[in-house]
Amino acid sequence: MTGTGANLDHWQERVDLAAAFRWTARLNMHEAVANHFSLAINESGTRFLMNPNQMHFSRIKASDMIVVDADDPETLAGSNAPDITAWGLHGGIHRHVPHARCAMHCHSIFATVLASLADSRQPPIDQNCATFFNRVVIDEGYGGLALEDEGARCAALFTDPAKKVMVMGNHGVLVIGATVAETFNRLYYFERAAETYIRALQTGQPLRILPDEVAEKTARELEDYPEQDARHLAELKAILTAEGSDFDQ
Virtual CA dihedral for 194, 50, 96, 225, nearest 10 degrees?
A: 50
The sign of the CA dihedral 152, 153, 155, 159 is positive
Does 4 map to a domain? no
Does 169 map to a domain? yes
CA dist 103 and 70 (Å) reads 14
Paired sense of beta strands 36-40 and 47-50, if any: antiparallel
Does 174 map to a domain? yes
The total number of structural domains that make up the chain: 1
Strand positions, DSSP E, 164-235: 165-168, 172-177
Sheet with 66-69, strands from edge to edge, namely 66-69, 47-50, 36-40, 102-106, 172-177, 165-168, 136-139
pTM score: 0.94
What is the largest distance, in Å, between two alpha-carbon atoms of the chain? 56
CA dist 18 and 86 (Å) reads 17
Virtual CA dihedral for 112, 115, 117, 123, nearest 10 degrees?
A: 100
* CB atoms near residue 5 (< 10 Å): 15
CA 55 vs. chain centroid, Å, equals 17
* CB atoms near residue 119 (< 10 Å): 8
Does 144 map to a domain? yes
The sign of the CA dihedral 100, 102, 107, 110 is negative
**What residue numbers bound the domain in which 96 lies?**
11-242
Does 234 map to a domain? yes
> pLDDT tens, position by position, for the chain (249 residues)?
444 555 689 999 999 999 999 999 999 999 999 999 999 999 988 899 999 999 999 999 999 999 998 888 777 777 778 888 888 899 999 999 999 999 999 999 999 999 999 999 999 999 999 999 999 999 998 877 766 688 889 999 999 999 999 999 999 999 999 999 999 999 999 999 999 999 999 999 999 999 999 999 999 999 998 899 999 999 999 999 999 999 999
The CATH number linked to 30 is: 3.40.225.10
CA atoms within 13 A of residue 113's CA, in its CB half-sphere:
16
Does 166 map to a domain? yes
User: Which amino acid is residue 58, in one-letter code?
Assistant: S
Cβ pair 190, 164 in contact under 8 A: no
CA dist 134 and 214 (Å) reads 12
Cβ pair 132, 190 in contact under 8 A: yes
Q: What is the pLDDT of residue 86?
A: 83
Does 6 map to a domain? no
Q: What is the pLDDT of residue 88?
A: 86
Does 94 map to a domain? yes
